[in-house]
Structure formats: C-alpha cells, structure tokens
Structure 1
Amino acid sequence: MKKIFILATISLLVSCKEKTTTSTNYTTGNKEITLEEIWNGTFSAKRMNALNSMNGDFYSLLNTDDEGNTTVDKYSYKTLEKVETIVNSASLKDLKSFDSYNFNAEESSVILGTDFKKIYRRSFTGTFYYYNINSKKLTLIGKDIQEPTFSPDSKKIAYAKNNNIYILNLTNGNKVTQVTKDGKFNNVINGITDWVYEEEFGFVRAFEWSNNSKYLAFLRFNESDVPTFSMDMVGTANYPNQQVFKYPKAGEKNAEVTLHMYTLSSKNTKKIALGNYEYIPRIKWSNDANVLVATTLNRHQNNLKLHKVNALRSSSSLLLDETDKAYVDITDNLTFLNDNSFIWTSEKDGFNHIYHYDFSGKLINQITKGDWEVTNYYGYNASKKTIYYQSVENGSTNRGVYSIDLNGKNKKLLSNKDGTNTASFSKNLNYFINTFSSSEIPPIYSLYTAEGEMLKVIKDNSELKEELSEYKMSPKEFSTISINGNELNMWMIKPADFDENKKYPLLMFQYSGPGSQQVANKWNASNDYWHNMLAQKGMIIVCVDGRGTGFKGSDFKKSTYLNLVKYETEDQIAAAKKLAKRSYIDENNIGIWGWSFGGHMSTNSLLKGSDIFTTAIAVAPVTSWRFYDTVYTERFLRTPQENPAGYDDNSPVNYPEKLKGNYLLVHGTGDDNVHVQNSYRMINSLIDANKQFDMFIVPDRTHGIYKGKNTRLNLYTKMTNFVETHLINKSNSTTKIKG
C-alpha cells in the first residue's frame, strides 16, 4: 500500500501541478542505511545529462553509445526524440573520445575537448579540436590550452595558453596570431582569471568577442606583487611536489587588473581607462557591436559601476552607479534587449528584484516587486516581451518558475508551487525542462511550454523512491524557531521509532555563510542520508538557518556585516539552548558540525557555547579570517587594517582556552581554498592552551576531501565513530522516561 501511494503521489505531481502537495507520511522500512551505500551511489538519483540548447526548438546531449563511443546527439524539444547524431568519435581518426563540445553560432562546427587537467575549482587545461560538421574534417586547435571560443562570425577561435591569448584563423590556412606576449606564470595572466577571481567571482574566461568579430576585449592580471602561497603535495614519489600560486589574503595586495581592447584588423591592443576601481568582475558586449559594458567594484565592494566602453574610440563613460551600505553582489543577469536597454537585478529596495533601464542608465521600471527574492534570471523573449525567472515568493524554502511581462504585468507561475523547481530553457525560450524535487520527492524532469503547460515527464526517479521505502527513513520536519528576535527556518530529523517520552542526543548541522541556505524544500544530498543514518542510531538532527543566510531580504542577509560569524554563532547557541528545553532532547549531549564556513561555525559554537555544546566536528574550517582571501572576506568585514576586531573577536585561534568539549578537526593538506594553515594554527593554539582534541589530516586532498579510493567513506566513518562515542553512547536518553 505504501509503495502504491508514493507512485500515485509522483503521478499527481507531474500531471497536475496546481494540486501539488508533499506527503506528511514517510515510508519507513527495516533496512539500515550504511556508509558504504551512501558513498557507492546506492541512493543517487537519476539525472539528465547537461543539455546544450540549440537554435530553434532543439537541444543536444553528450552521450556514450553501446560501443563506448562518444556522441553529440540532437533532440527535439517538442518530442524529446533524437533527431540526429551530429558527431561520433568512432568516425574521428585522431580522437577516440571527447569530454566536452561547444558549437559555433550557426551550429555548423563544434569544438571538442579532451585530456583535461584540473587547475583549480573551475579551471583546467585540455586538448581541443575544431570539427567541421559538413566536411567532417577534424583539426587540432592546441594542447594544454584553455577556454577556446568561436568568434560570432565563426571564422576564428580565441584561446589562452601559458597566460597568453591566441587567435586561430579558420579561413586563412589555420594561421595563429599571438595577441599577448607578456604572460608569465605567477606574474602576468592574459584572458584567464587569477585564483581569487575564479573562486569568488565565479568565472575563468576573461576575454569576450564583439558581436561583429572585429574586437576582442580581455582582462590582464598583473599579480607580480600578490603574496605567494605554497603547499607540499605528497603524491607517490620519494619527494613532495610543491604547488605554488598567488593568493591574496585579507588586507594584502590584489592583482592589478586592467581592461584591454584588441583590434583584429590592425592587430593593436589598447588599455581602457575605467577610473578608480579595485575589481573588474564582469565584461559583456552590448547589442551595439562597438560598445562593451565593463563592471567595476571598489575594494569595499559597496560601489558597483557599469561603464560603456567605445571600442572605436577606446574610451569609456558611466552607465550605472549602484551603492549599498554593506556590499553589492555580482551576478550574470545583465541582459541587453534589441534597443540596448537592459535588464538588471538589484537588492536596492531590500529584496533582490528585476529592473529595466535604458542605455543612458535611466530607470524605465521595476519589473518585480514584493517582500520576496528573485533567485534566478532565465531570460527575455523579445517577441513576447516576457521575462522568465525563479523566485521564493511561495516561501523562502521553496523555488518556483515564473513569467512576467517586461512592464511588470501578467505574472504567472509556470511550475509547481512548492518544493524546488529549476528551469532549463530552450535558446528561443519556447520550452523549458523543469527539475522538481522536494524533501520527500526525488527529482522529476518534465518538459514544459513557456506558457507553463506540462507536456511530458522525462525522468521521475520512482524506482529510487520505491527502493528507499525499504530503509529506515524519517522525514525532514520543517518549521521555524524564534531566536534573537527572528523567525529562523529549521528542519528536524527524528528516529523512525521516535518516542516523545524518551530523550535523545542532538546533533546540529549548518553552514551559515552569507546568502547561503541549508533549510530548503528539496531532495536529499549525501549528508541527508548520513543524518538519517545517525537518526536511526538514536539521535535527533537539526538544521537552523540563522542571521546572515539568504533569501529573506538584504537586511537579514547583511545583518552580519563587519561582524562575520558573531551573530551566526549566537543564533546556533541560542537555538541549541531553546531546543534543549524540549522534553525529548538530552540537554547534556548536544553537538554541532559543519564544513568550510560551517566548520568555522561549529568550532566557534563549541568554544563560545561550551555551556550547551559538548561536541563539535569542523571540516576544512577557516579559523582566522586573516587567512582567507581578499574578495570574499573583505566583502563582509572590510580589511583587517580597518576592522581588526571584526576579524579577531570571532576567530577561534584567539581563544582556544574556551575549549571544554570534544573536538574533531579535519582538513585536507591540498586545500587551495581554505588552506590547511587554518587548522595547523588552530592545532598550535590548542596545544599552547594545553587542550586535548582529535584531528584527521588528509594528505593532498582539496577542499572537498573526496579524491582517491574510499576517501569520503573513510572520512564519514571517522565522523560517525566520533558522534557515536561522544553523543550517542554517552546519552542514555532512549531509555529515560519523562518525569
């Protein structure tokens, strides 16, 4: 009966979105979740391959056929049926397989990539080929190159190699022109971002073709004065290999970043003056082929400017000037319409909304309004004068897909109301594939028209839901908790055999970083299965999104400005104390854990909340904000020279004597993001204070601590044993009766 109910619920979700609800009952079987199952993929949901929207009503997928050959296949949005195979590696003489593909504007040619070598989180080098679909000719572009990109006229390909930019001319005997020549490792980078831009501004390719293919705009990073960080990588050789790279820590010198314009006809490059600024986090060509728009930020990141750059005159003028009392976020939402008016998102009214400006920078109208946030901008259909976006207007833990006219009228919900809905639109914005999930319904992929008509279910993951019904699983119970004058979002997982007459140890999980969210109505991640496994061992798991987290307005998010981690820590401590008053919580056995920012939070909570927390696990934590990068840290704290108390008063390396409970510190030595230096300094501080603790140092692993056989399994085994020893086994709660 229970399995039938679940499948019926899924059918209801995909056939009649207006009536979508999530079940308050959760199917619970008898099987125990194991760590091996969590990390061998037993509970992984089926997902769609990342699709590439094509011209017209088509999309393409990268597939592997039955013979193991790599293919790029074309599909119809209308039918979801394959139309043709565009390229098959079996027919390529010099390329047995490939891992990426990118079309030119006419989709008559494609760039194929293979042999990728990772650099940082988003960057890599690879071997890339140019493939002419009509002639079926394959040409090598280059080995160990980065970001090859077609020009709009499809006659050229720009790419970067060894910190310089090159252009391959496809109509002139494949002649290569070297655009820059001063690139040098750890000194000058042309056309590719440095470490901090890649990590914090979220992009790698720092060059852009003009729409008429006459100009190539690019950023140049002079990082010669940026301090160097180094890490010893143990590897498998007799001697370690040292990884050395430029990393600007808070208060230190950033790379000097400048904008340059290369003219292909004259082969001349000119530097573009943009006034006073610290960062150039975005460049984008407008619909005027001669006008680029460059975004600049000051070092405090509270003054953002858009500059119109005239390529013909190599001059710039101010288009938009936006300020904030705290900071301005960077997005990719800038969209130019046919008349060069533009769409822009901003928090200037207290919530993130969509605005329409003309090309002189004059506001035409605010398109979306309300005490809710736009969370994603999908695009603008000029023929329908319609904008498509995602928002939280049905509650900050839900996501819905909407359309609205350019004038702000005729808003329409296109997806399910509850749960998390994300859309992948066709290039012409006539269709979208909606991914829906909730805390109790695994991902369902469905094809919709742009008017919100659901046409077909593509994948529904009903098999996973049925399989999970055999396991001991408990629902996430969503609620709010009143803490420090705020209603904070919270979920709780109880044991499947929960008895309100018993007492249970409590483990709190959080991340808490600015603008983040952990309490969301979406399907399970790996940690959710681990939390459920712990719950079935006899404990309660809780997550609370405190002040500073996202999607509840800028005042809530930016309330932690200049005091990062202070209020977030206070909220977790206060939440723990309030939860401890519940009759079924063992107030003497409360722990907290987190990763990265969450690791800082769990450390801080244990030290500053020693009267309530007895146990903490910190994975890859920041332990002093003086050790983290300029862009992220100074956005929220300004520099340590300006705000030393904001850095030091909430950095646990400065008060190790407060440790009274059980503390497990975990870090990978190859972490280029949050350096293991953070944990080493914490260890030394604890030693100086003569405090006992546990540590788990993982050689060569990066911030995610996942690379290598059994790495995650081994880590979570360690963490499970720690929780069992210090929380579950120390609590006799499950045998205690109230009163």
Structure 2
Amino acid sequence: MNSIKQSIFIILILIFQVPASIFAQRLWTDQGDQYYEFSEKGIEMVNPKNGMRSIFLSQQSLIPKGITTALKVENFSISKNKELILLYTNSKRVWRENTRGDYWVYNKKSSQLQQLGKQFPASQLMFAKFNPQADKVAYVNKADHNVYVEDLANGRIVAVTKDGTDRLINGTFDWVYEEEFGCKDGFRWSPDGTSIAYWKLDARNIRNFLMINNTDSLYSYTIPVEYPKVGQSPSACSIWTYEIATGKNTMLNIPGDPNQHYIPRMEWCFDGKQVILEQLNRKQNESKIYIVALSDNKAQNIHQEQSDSWIDIKARWNNNDPSGWDWVQGGKAFIWVSEKDGWRKIYQIDLSGNEKLVMKADYDMINLDFFDPKNEMIYFTASPSNATQKYLYSVSTKGGVPKRLTPASFEGTCDYDISKNGKIAIFNFSNRATLQHNAVIELPTHKILVDFDFKRQKKVSDGIAEFFKVKTTDGIELDGWMVKPLDFDPNKKYPVVFMVYGEPASQTVLDNFGAGYNSLYKGNMAQDGYIYISLDNRGTPAPKGSLWRKSIYRNIGQLNIRDQALATQEILKWPFVDNSRVAVWGWSGGGSSTLNLLGQYPQIYKTGIAIAAVANQLLYDNVYQERYMGLPQENLADFENGSPLKYAKNIKGNLLYIHGTGDDNVHYQNAEVLINELIKNNVQFQLMSYPNRSHSISEGQGTHEHLKTLFTNYLKLHCPPGGR
C-alpha cells in the first residue's frame, strides 16, 4: 500500500530536474573495479575512478540476423566462463514491475545472437539464468506458468514442469507474494548445475477479484486478479527439485500445512545437496529455518523464533528483495537478522542452529548494504541518534561493536552502491537542502576518490523543511518536518496541511532532498502561504526499536490515528497556526489515515483529500493485513474499529475522495463501500474516479496533470492559503 518512495523520486525528477539515471542500480563487474552502463554505443564498462569507458558489447553486436535495429537491452547477466551474455529485452509489466520479456544469448566467440524460447509468444519469458556450466538456460514461461530448460548447443527445450496454469504457478509467484514479500524469481540452479529447486504455488482455492473495464471496448469486460482477502487462506506453497539427468521432480517434505504457511525465502546450501528455506506461519509471528537433504528428503528445523506481534523477512531491509543467502565460513554458517532483543541486529547461525550475536550495539540496522565474505565484513546503514537520517557502518562477521564510516560532515541521508569486491562504492548524499550524487569512495576508509558529479542546492524560495519533535499528552514524542510560508510572520495565523501515511509500510519524516515537497501540489505551497507538515507516529518503520514499530500490532487505524491527532492538537497550540484551516491528505495507507482522522477527530481536521484508501480492512490482502492485525476469525473487532468505514458518518469537514477503478492493489470496491456509507449518513463529499488507472493513478494521457490540478484547486478552495 506504499507509494511514498515513488512520489519522492517523482518530486526530484520533475521539480528539481534531477536525472532519473542517478537512481539506477549499477551492475558491477565481478572484479569490482568497473560497472556496466547502457549507452548509444551499446553496453559499456565504466571505471568510476577515472571515468574511462570501454565497449563491452557494441550496438552493432546487438542487431539480430535479419533485423536492422539493435535490441533495446534492459538488463543482462554474464556466464561464469565469461563467454556468453544473457540479454533481457522487450519487457512487459507483471503487477508492479516489468518481469516478463524476451531473452537472447550473445556468444562472444562466435559473435552470434540466439533468441531463447522462440516457440513461445513474445515477452513471456521470466527470470532466465545460465546454469553454472553455461550450456543451458532455465526460465519461466509466463503464458503457462511452467519452468523450462533450453540447451544452448542444439536449442532443445525441456519442460521442467507441465502442470502450470493461471492458478498452479511454477517458478514464480502469485500477486500477494510479490506485493507483500517481494518474491518474483521463484527458481534456483544448484551450485553444480545438476538440479533446479523451485516454488510451486497452488492458487486454485483463491477467488478472483474482478475489475471491470468500461472504456476500451463496445461492451465492458472483467479483469480477474487472484487475490486472497484478509481472513482467506493463502495459496498452498511447496518447494520442489528437478534432476536434469533423470527429469525427476520431487516435492520436498516440509512440515506443516502448506495452506497455512508461507515460504518467502529458499536457496541451495553450498554443497548443492541440501536446500535451506524460511517458513512463516500464517500469522507471520513464527519463523522457522529448515534444511532439507535431497538424499533422504528429511527436513531439519535448525532455528526457530517467535514474536508477540510479527516477524519481518529480508525484503524489509534489502530493497524489497528477499533472495540470496548470506553465507560465511565457506557455507558452514550464515548471516541472519532479528529483532528479538528489541533492536534489529545482525546474528550468525551455523548449520546446526548455533547462534551468536554479530552486531553488538543497542540500535537498529536499517539496511544490510553489502556482505563481503572474503574480507569477513558486513556493511550496513543505521542512525542511532536520529531516526530521520542514515549512515554507513561496518562490523566484522566475527562480531564486535560496529564502526561508523560516514564522516560527521555528511549530516542527512547517505546511500551507497558498493562494488562486488567491497573496495569502492558510489556514494549519494542528500538532506533537506542539499543533493549530491555519484562520488566514488574507498572502503572501509570512506576516502573520496572522485568528487560528486551532480550537486543541487535548494533555493530559499523552494521552501526548505525544518525538523522538529512534538510530544503528545500520552507522553509519545513524534518526529516531524515542517515547511513554513516564505513570507512567514509569527504574528499571523496560517493554514496547516498535513501529509500522512502512518502504517508499517513506510516512513515519511526523512532528512532527504524530498522532505517538505508535495508532488501533487501545482505550484509552491510555501510561496502560496501554507504550513506543510508530516509526522511519523508509532508503527512507522523508523529505526527506534521494535517496541516503537510493533506497538501498532492489532491497532492500525487506532493507535496511529491517536498519535497523529494528539500531535496535531499540540501543533495547533502554536500561535501562528490557524485551527480553522487544518487539512490532511494521504495516499494508500495514508488515504486510510486521512479518512480515519476526518472521522475520528472531526473537531480537528476541516479538509481531507484521501487517495486510493482502504476503507474497510477486511477488503485488503491477507498477507499484509494479517501480519499487522492478526486473523479476523480471532479478533474481528480490531479490524472493524480500525477501519475508516466505521467513522465515515462522523465526517463534518470537506472530503475529496480519489481512486482508480483499475486498482489491483486497493480495489475500487473500497471506494464504493465508503460512498454507500457516506450516502447513508448524508455526509456530503466530492469524488474523482480515474477509469482503469492502477494504484499509482499514473496511466493515461494527462492523468498526472489532471490529478495535480484537482488536488490543488480543492485544497485552495476549502483550505485557503495565506496568513491572516
């Protein structure tokens, strides 16, 4: 339900003309001293220390036989023997990302291009990868949800699975696994290339949610999405292996009911004879690590952890990617992350389940940025004393007190793209007023080898955020940022606009270049005379310890709303705030918070703009809602008491509700049940439906400009700007 990070990128690109390329993740060479970059010349290798470029694969090499134009390569991988290049092109969207497309193999010796899976429809292959011997490629065909292996020498294609359908999914995942666990690529070659391990999801018991398209044909038609609503059992999940030599498929014998658990992570052990996986129970408050030996197909539970709320998986601190297993000691042990002592810390677990603490410090790791097994070093980001910022730390895999590497002169948000050898990194820095990108630093010294090549400083006329803390009458201290009007006069009173999210998926109060900007406001809020504020309540994923983050368990729509409202009450005591002009807006979970604030605290909030909100928590997906709220079969009242639907009748102020009818994430169904409740109670409001737009409301010509104009005009009309 999160669109905050995407909005920040839009702000930087559109308002400040920041090149979109600075957000791209680089593909480093294995040696780590160079990275690959796409250009008009083809694929180039760039030495970041001196800027020297060399052609890795020329544009001419990317022209298939019989075609006059070069392939538009979007990603690629290189075989272990460095002789073959696997090229990804012509991609199409699957749910959130473009994960299906066409694959070609370029042979450097023969200078030939070979298309894979030519027998399949265009743009249907997913997650293709070489085997270790580089004589075969495995991939998923999205059209039939089966895994295939193609022999590069003779082009022979063998079906690994044959039972795939739109509901029996092999080698990839259903909607909810991708959305809530970050799982997309669902198969792995064994280290010796003799076998493939893969997920199989049985979604045959998951009902379709039908979206309707009324505009693109003479007669309307429905678009089915297999979508497990909260309270409904998930897809049955199992792990299988396939032997290349014999063609034998074997389901791994994993304890538990496959209809009542999740397997968000799975990899091969170093020896290629065992598979390791993490299993979560349906409530996601119990995590088990199993090792399954292929020889006897017996699962050994080597580690178990329980929580009185929920347990996060790797995707939460690894850029929404749960893949990979961080091995140490030559595969005899691995790195693990847990919050069991109140802080998100790094541990080491061996294959017998023996555990030791690596990160000996009482604060949260934010992201695990890089793991260097050769030099036994872990690089991670943290910010022990300021939850709005982020800095680079290192700690030995043997354990110890982490060392801060980011110099004190960089105060704000620091991001690092570390090379594969761990010796250098591309360093990006920003705070509320400054944006600097693409410096090259040495690790672990953090010595700058090449200065930033992109620098941007906000003008005072842009409106620069100032950070503050506010304590509620409950004794809870919240972080916030605020942008004051450019002509601020402390003797006048100004309208205040709150931007809210408030749920566990995202943090809004961050000391970065996007702080204080509203991507939906057409113009300059500070120049027009608004005070613009955002607050992070309890339950947001700030690095303040697990008690802060998990106090919202079974309390979404209640605790977060109370924190926001009580903090707003304190802010309204400021002499320059006009309590008759108080507005709030939010998107997705923030839209839900907006509706709840209007309904639960109508005496405070006079105007609200809610976008793509969950009106009834019982209408959202099972993985997200059950993780944070429990099972409705056990605590239904918590879902009802946290849903905006319950409080819609209390809304007294101005409400603009916005939703895309093609939203496969937060269904338009939420808008219609909310509308019915508002009508029943004669609550007047305005509605804007965007036909066939998804959760981002980004599709279609003129959409973004229309949404900005709508948002801005409504805000100015019902919460007029300027001091009085």
**TM-score, normalised on structure 1?**
0.89
Q: Report the alpha carbon displacement of residue 581 of structure 1 after superposing the two structures with TM.
A: 0.8
Q: Of 683, 686, 692, which residue of structure 2 is paired with 1:691?
A: 683
2:449 aligns to what? 456
Is residue 44 from structure 1 mapped to residue 17 from structure 2 by the alignment? yes
Q: Report the alpha carbon displacement of residue 361 of structure 1 after superposing the two structures with TM.
A: 0.9
Q: Report the alpha carbon displacement of residue 235 of structure 1 after superposing the two structures with TM.
A: 4.8
For 1:117 and 1:498, locate their aligned partners in 2 and report how far apart those are by CA, in whole Å.
Answer: 49
1:174 aligns to what? 155
Is residue 369 from structure 1 mapped to residue 360 from structure 2 by the alignment? yes
For 1:702 and 1:527, locate their aligned partners in 2 and report how far apart those are by CA, in whole Å.
Answer: 23
Q: Of 82, 86, 90, which residue of structure 1 is paired with 2:57?
A: 86
Is residue 485 from structure 1 mapped to residue 458 from structure 2 by the alignment? no
For 2:186 and 2:11, locate their aligned partners in 1 and report how far apart those are by CA, in whole Å.
Answer: 38
Q: Report the alpha carbon displacement of residue 110 of structure 1 after superposing the two structures with TM.
A: 1.7
Is residue 516 from structure 1 mapped to residue 506 from structure 2 by the alignment? yes
For 1:102 and 1:240, locate their aligned partners in 2 and report how far apart those are by CA, in whole Å.
Answer: 42
Contact 2:28–2:36, Cα closer than 8 Å, also in 1: no
2:268 aligns to what? 285
Contact 2:486–2:529, Cα closer than 8 Å, also in 1: no
Q: Report the alpha carbon displacement of residue 99 of structure 1 after superposing the two structures with TM.
A: 2.2
2:422 aligns to what? 429
2:304 aligns to what? 321
Contact 2:516–2:533, Cα closer than 8 Å, also in 1: no
For 1:42 and 1:566, locate their aligned partners in 2 and report how far apart those are by CA, in whole Å.
Answer: 35
1:311 aligns to what? 294
For 2:105 and 2:219, locate their aligned partners in 1 and report how far apart those are by CA, in whole Å.
Answer: 40
Task: Name the aligned partner's letter for residue 164 of structure 2.
Answer: G
User: What SS is found at the alignment partner of 2:707?
Assistant: helix
Residue 617 and residue 528 in structure 1: after superposition, are their counterparts in 2 closer, same or farther (change >3 A)? closer
2:496 aligns to what? 506
Residue 61 and residue 528 in structure 1: after superposition, are their counterparts in 2 closer, same or farther (change >3 A)? farther
User: What SS is found at the alignment partner of 1:728?
Assistant: coil
Taking the TM superposition and a 5 Å limit, the aligned residue runs for 1:437-476 are: 437-457=430-450, 459-462=452-455, 464-465=456-457, 468-469=458-459, 472-476=461-465
User: What SS is found at the alignment partner of 1:643?
Assistant: helix
User: What SS is found at the alignment partner of 1:560?
Assistant: coil
Q: Report the alpha carbon displacement of residue 456 of structure 1 after superposing the two structures with TM.
A: 3.5
Q: Report the alpha carbon displacement of residue 44 of structure 1 after superposing the two structures with TM.
A: 3.0
Residue 570 and residue 42 in structure 1: after superposition, are their counterparts in 2 closer, same or farther (change >3 A)? closer
User: What SS is found at the alignment partner of 1:283?
Assistant: strand
In structure 1, the gaps of 5 or more residues are: 1-36
Task: Name the aligned partner's letter for residue 703 of structure 2.
Answer: T
For 2:128 and 2:374, locate their aligned partners in 1 and report how far apart those are by CA, in whole Å.
Answer: 32
Is residue 133 from structure 1 mapped to residue 108 from structure 2 by the alignment? yes
1:276 aligns to what? 256
Taking the TM superposition and a 5 Å limit, the aligned residue runs for 1:120-159 are: 120-122=95-97, 124-142=99-117, 143=122, 144-159=124-139
Deviates more, 1:400-409 or 1:533-542: 400-409
For 1:454 and 1:202, locate their aligned partners in 2 and report how far apart those are by CA, in whole Å.
Answer: 34
Q: Of 183, 191, 194, which residue of structure 1 is paired with 2:174?
A: 194
2:632 aligns to what? 640
The one-character-per-residue Cα deviations of 1:77-119 (angstroms, maximum 9, x if unpaired) are 4434213332425652344422222222333222212222212
For 1:603 and 1:703, locate their aligned partners in 2 and report how far apart those are by CA, in whole Å.
Answer: 17
Contact 1:190–1:220, Cα closer than 8 Å, also in 2: yes
For 1:554 and 1:477, locate their aligned partners in 2 and report how far apart those are by CA, in whole Å.
Answer: 27
User: What SS is found at the alignment partner of 1:734?
Assistant: coil
Tell me how large the CA RMSD over aligned residues is: 2.0
For 1:240 and 1:525, locate their aligned partners in 2 and report how far apart those are by CA, in whole Å.
Answer: 42
For 1:688 and 1:91, locate their aligned partners in 2 and report how far apart those are by CA, in whole Å.
Answer: 62
Contact 1:38–1:530, Cα closer than 8 Å, also in 2: no
Residue 701 and residue 459 in structure 1: after superposition, are their counterparts in 2 closer, same or farther (change >3 A)? farther
User: What SS is found at the alignment partner of 2:162?
Assistant: coil
2:540 aligns to what? 549
Taking the TM superposition and a 5 Å limit, the aligned residue runs for 1:376-391 are: 376-391=367-382
Taking the TM superposition and a 5 Å limit, the aligned residue runs for 1:101-250 are: 101-122=76-97, 124-142=99-117, 143=122, 144-161=124-141, 162-171=144-153, 173-185=154-166, 187-250=167-230
Is residue 253 from structure 1 mapped to residue 245 from structure 2 by the alignment? no
How many pairs were matched up? 685
Q: Which runs of 4 or more aligned residues in structure 1 lie more than 6 Å from their structure 2 counterparts after TM superposition?
A: 37-40
For 1:454 and 1:438, locate their aligned partners in 2 and report how far apart those are by CA, in whole Å.
Answer: 20
Residue 189 and residue 294 in structure 1: after superposition, are their counterparts in 2 closer, same or farther (change >3 A)? same
Taking the TM superposition and a 5 Å limit, the aligned residue runs for 1:596-615 are: 596-615=588-607
For 2:13 and 2:213, locate their aligned partners in 1 and report how far apart those are by CA, in whole Å.
Answer: 27
Task: Name the aligned partner's letter for residue 388 of structure 2.
Answer: T
Residue 458 and residue 103 in structure 1: after superposition, are their counterparts in 2 closer, same or farther (change >3 A)? farther
Residue 322 and residue 584 in structure 1: after superposition, are their counterparts in 2 closer, same or farther (change >3 A)? same
For 1:527 and 1:61, locate their aligned partners in 2 and report how far apart those are by CA, in whole Å.
Answer: 33
The one-character-per-residue Cα deviations of 1:4-46 (angstroms, maximum 9, x if unpaired) are xxxxxxxxxxxxxxxxxxxxxxxxxxxxxxxxx9698252323
Task: Name the aligned partner's letter for residue 190 of structure 2.
Answer: S
The one-character-per-residue Cα deviations of 1:257-289 (angstroms, maximum 9, x if unpaired) are 111111111110001111115111111122222
Deviates more, 1:96-105 or 1:130-139: 96-105
User: What SS is found at the alignment partner of 2:351?
Assistant: coil
For 1:635 and 1:192, locate their aligned partners in 2 and report how far apart those are by CA, in whole Å.
Answer: 22
Task: Name the aligned partner's letter for residue 635 of structure 2.
Answer: N
Task: Name the aligned partner's letter for residue 439 of structure 1.
Answer: R
Taking the TM superposition and a 5 Å limit, the aligned residue runs for 1:655-694 are: 655-694=647-686
1:627 aligns to what? 619
Taking the TM superposition and a 5 Å limit, the aligned residue runs for 1:318-357 are: 318-331=301-314, 332=322, 334-337=325-328, 338-357=330-349
Contact 1:223–1:246, Cα closer than 8 Å, also in 2: yes
Q: Report the alpha carbon displacement of residue 526 of structure 1 after superposing the two structures with TM.
A: 9.4
For 2:107 and 2:292, locate their aligned partners in 1 and report how far apart those are by CA, in whole Å.
Answer: 34
The one-character-per-residue Cα deviations of 1:494-525 (angstroms, maximum 9, x if unpaired) are 01111111000111111111152111111127
For 1:527 and 1:150, locate their aligned partners in 2 and report how far apart those are by CA, in whole Å.
Answer: 44
Contact 1:593–1:602, Cα closer than 8 Å, also in 2: yes
Task: Name the aligned partner's letter for residue 155 of structure 2.
Answer: N
1:57 aligns to what? 32
The one-character-per-residue Cα deviations of 1:339-390 (angstroms, maximum 9, x if unpaired) are 4211111101101011112211101x31213332111113332342221111
For 2:592 and 2:44, locate their aligned partners in 1 and report how far apart those are by CA, in whole Å.
Answer: 45
For 1:529 and 1:191, locate their aligned partners in 2 and report how far apart those are by CA, in whole Å.
Answer: 38
Contact 1:112–1:128, Cα closer than 8 Å, also in 2: yes
2:4 aligns to what? none
User: What SS is found at the alignment partner of 2:631?
Assistant: coil
The one-character-per-residue Cα deviations of 1:289-320 (angstroms, maximum 9, x if unpaired) are 21211111101101111111212333221121
Contact 1:123–1:204, Cα closer than 8 Å, also in 2: no
Contact 1:60–1:72, Cα closer than 8 Å, also in 2: no
Contact 2:11–2:518, Cα closer than 8 Å, also in 1: no
Contact 2:128–2:139, Cα closer than 8 Å, also in 1: yes
Taking the TM superposition and a 5 Å limit, the aligned residue runs for 1:6-45 are: 41-45=14-18
Q: Of 520, 529, 539, which residue of structure 1 is paired with 2:530?
A: 539
For 2:400 and 2:348, locate their aligned partners in 1 and report how far apart those are by CA, in whole Å.
Answer: 13
For 1:428 and 1:241, locate their aligned partners in 2 and report how far apart those are by CA, in whole Å.
Answer: 52
1:6 aligns to what? none
Task: Name the aligned partner's letter for residue 680 of structure 1.
Answer: E
Q: Report the alpha carbon displacement of residue 460 of structure 1 after superposing the two structures with TM.
A: 4.1
The one-character-per-residue Cα deviations of 1:473-498 (angstroms, maximum 9, x if unpaired) are 22111111112222111111101111
Q: Report the alpha carbon displacement of residue 579 of structure 1 after superposing the two structures with TM.
A: 0.8
The one-character-per-residue Cα deviations of 1:182-210 (angstroms, maximum 9, x if unpaired) are 1111x211111000001000021111111
